[in-house]
Amino acid sequence: MGAELAAGHELAASAPTRPVASAPSAIAELRALWGARRLFWALTQNDLRVRYLGSSIGLFWAVVNPILEVATYTLVFHVLLNVRFHTGQTTGQYVLYLLCGTVAWSGFADGLLRGTTSITNHAHLIRKVNFPAVVLPAQAMASSLINQLFRTAVLLVACVLIGDGLSWHALLLLPFVVAQTLFGLGLGLLFSVLNVYFRDVGHWVTAGLLIGMFVTPVMYPASAYPRELFLLLYPNPMAQYIGIYQSLLLGHSLPAALTSVIYAFVAAGLALAVGASVFAHNRKKFADLV
């Protein structure tokens, strides 16, 4: 924590000394983020160092954690409970299916939760004159994205070792990872504002993510969803992202529904626009409220 505080105070001195735009707007807020990109990257690096500081294997935990998670889920659901989603499903197929879901969900959930509390947890920086507050939820999401990329590397290796390998469709994964990250950033900006006004928002987000993990096809296929509950499935952007990952990496094909692809990018753009706009219109009140 001391390293984070020291880095924050040192880097804040290099932050822009004047607002990027006079009128609060989503575009101005994103421009402020770009203008403070050196500060953003430095805080992201520092966040990763602090997160793994003192651990024996450091950043390698980003690789170990998904392996342990999937091993646990596989033991409970596939081995002990004998869950099968289709006839002849092998343990390797189940592991890859779980990895696709948990890699995407963990990156989203971690970034959203850390982004929600990013403003209130860094009050010492927010109180500095003209500190670009948008950097805080953005670097929280960037740190989670880097962790997700490590997890994705584990998934790709697993596809080669225990699956049917990879096809050229895997090259299309990156745009959807970016879209998912922007979707999470938009929600993070929105909830970080709400958490300034209502400090229990972080707890609600934690509870919501726990419920969301089970109502999103992370550990089971979308085809297992009860027909009467399909309205919970289709509007869920994370269900679309996970389904796309599975199509590209496991199905070696483009998503069957073009609407899923369109929805993935529309959801990202809409969430980012709304989140950045709400953030921009409330940013000047942060120093008095945190």
Which pLDDT value is given to residue 17? 42
Which pLDDT value is given to residue 76? 78
For the chain, the domains span 2-12+24-289
Where residue 162 falls among pLDDT bands split at 50, 70, 90?
confident
Q: How many CA atoms lie within 13 A of 7 on its CB side?
A: 18
C-beta of residue 98 within 8 angstroms of C-beta of residue 73: yes
For 192, counting Cβ atoms within 10 Å of its Cβ (0-12 exposed, 13-18 middle, 19+ buried), the class is buried
More reliable by pLDDT, 169 or 14: 169
Q: For all residues of the chain together, what is the average pLDDT?
A: 84
- Residue indicated by tokens 């197929």: 93
d(CA 222, CA 242): 10
pLDDT at 12 over 50: no
More reliable by pLDDT, 223 or 10: 223
Which pLDDT value is given to residue 20? 41
pLDDT at 21 over 50: no
Which pLDDT value is given to residue 288? 85
Q: pLDDT for 183-214, tens place per residue?
A: 999 999 999 999 999 999 999 999 999 999 98
Which pLDDT value is given to residue 164? 87
pTM given for the model = 0.85
78-87, 110-119, 184-193, range with the lowest pLDDT: 78-87
Rounded average pLDDT over 177-187: 96
Which pLDDT value is given to residue 289? 85
Rounded average pLDDT over 234-244: 92
d(CA 77, CA 214): 13
Which pLDDT value is given to residue 19? 42
d(CA 29, CA 12): 17
